[in-house]
Structure 1
Amino acid sequence: MSEDSPPAAEEPDLPAAHGVPPSLPALFMAFARMSLAGFGGVLVFARRAIVDQHRWMTADEFNETFALCHFLPGPNIVNLSMVFGARLRGLAGGVAAFAGLLLPPTLIMTVLAVIYARFGDLDVLRRSLAGISCAAVGLLIAVVFRMMTPLFKRMDALAFILMLAVFIAIGVVRLPLQAVLLIAIPLSIGATFILRRKVAA
């Protein structure tokens, strides 16, 4: 952070990379652009806009916020829009981000649903959708690696162990998601709390 930047204590809820919160129209437009660009999932474009483009969050803060939203009921990216908008601009900010995220694609999907209902049996359309699904998987894998970058930089062994354990439990052993989270969340919070106390001591 430069010497001219405001001290962190003055704006505890804002990342050091950005001292002035965006306006409500700016929040709406930012999330509207994310949703319109978000072919294959908005998460890829949300991280790029929030962390890389606007610098409203650091990479670590985005990961922590997304982790919280991932453990809440409902679509992760919708939760993220509400939590992120409310963090910067209160309830009005949450509503602005939420509206920007959902309103444009809702209007587009309404039109596309009418078109699909009429032409959905065409073979060329089915092949196009299959190709789009491959691109969506690639985008998701790319953003997962980007979100793992802070962990690699910190070389946090505990985080890697917990991440691997959850992946094996859900992806390989096929244990119920709810049961895994009931164990993984308190375990990870407790382990992190103990380790940070040791470091502080």
Structure 2
Amino acid sequence: MPNDDRPRPQSLGELFWAFTWLALQGFGGVLAVVQRELVDRRRWLTPEEFVEEWAAAQILPGPNVVNLSIMVGDRYFGWRGALAAMAGMLALPMLLVVALAAVYAGFADHARVAGALRGMGAVAAGLVAGVGLRLAVSLRKHPLGLPVCGVIAAATIIAMSVLRLPLAWVLPMVGGAACALTWRKLAPPQH
């Protein structure tokens, strides 16, 4: 449960509109926006809580940010908060995407439109890399320590980028090893 001294959403409506605003900012990927909004701006989560909940959101089926919205909503208002946050993530953005898809269908064959969309790939990669670096700061407090976390991160990058292993293999292999190591480190000593 969150610390009572920290800021928190005051109503289901605030939760809904916060996630609606978050979703409307998240074109091409919302990790950077979510981290800035929930940790830096609103302070509903600490950096460590964000990393933990984002990790859990990634291993669950479905869109990561929707999973995170459900967890944050549940944290503050139970199942009603989970529904409000998820509705905020999906309702207005869905209507916008449907409208944009209809417009895009009319211009999809134009070379300049296709080229412009391909150019956004560099921006998306930069956003992901930038947020990754910001999140790495919270690893200083991780029980395994920064060097071990660095090795785990490097193993993940190599598995995904160099070896091109599917995420369905990398998560259980590298993620499972990281979970086991952390569990072992945190386990009380046996006498």
Q: What is the aligned counterpart of 1:87 among 75, 89, 92? A: 75
1:107-133: per-residue Cα shift (whole Å, max 9, x none)?
111111111112222233223322333
- Farther off after superposition, 95-104 or 170-179: 170-179
Normalising by the residue count of structure 2, what TM-score does the alignment of the two structures yield? 0.87
Q: What is the aligned counterpart of 2:170 among 180, 193, 196? A: 180
Corresponding residue of 2:118: 130
Q: What is the aligned counterpart of 1:143 among 131, 146, 166? A: 131
Normalising by the residue count of structure 1, what TM-score does the alignment of the two structures yield? 0.83
Q: How many residues align?
A: 188
Contact 1:66–1:76 (8 Å) recurs in 2: yes
> Please, what is the CA RMSD of the aligned residues?
2.2
> 2:6 aligned with 1:25, yes or no?
no
Contact 2:12–2:84 (8 Å) recurs in 1: yes
Corresponding residue of 1:156: 146
Q: Give distance in 1, aligned partners of 2:148 and 2:188.
A: 14
Q: What is the aligned counterpart of 1:115 among 103, 112, 130? A: 103
Residues 124 and 17 of structure 1: CA distance in aligned 2, closer, same or farther (over 3 Å): farther
Q: Provide structure 1 residue ranges, at least 5 long, that are not aligned to the other structure.
A: 1-12
Q: Give distance in 1, aligned partners of 2:184 and 2:4.
A: 26
1:154-181: per-residue Cα shift (whole Å, max 9, x none)?
6522222222222222222223322332
1:58-110: per-residue Cα shift (whole Å, max 9, x none)?
00100000001111111111111111111111111111111111112211111
Report sequence identity in percent. Answer: 37
Q: Give distance in 2, aligned partners of 1:113 and 1:151.
A: 39
Residues 163 and 17 of structure 1: CA distance in aligned 2, closer, same or farther (over 3 Å): farther
Q: Provide structure 2 residue ranges, at least 5 long, that are not aligned to the other structure.
A: none
Residues 72 and 54 of structure 1: CA distance in aligned 2, closer, same or farther (over 3 Å): same
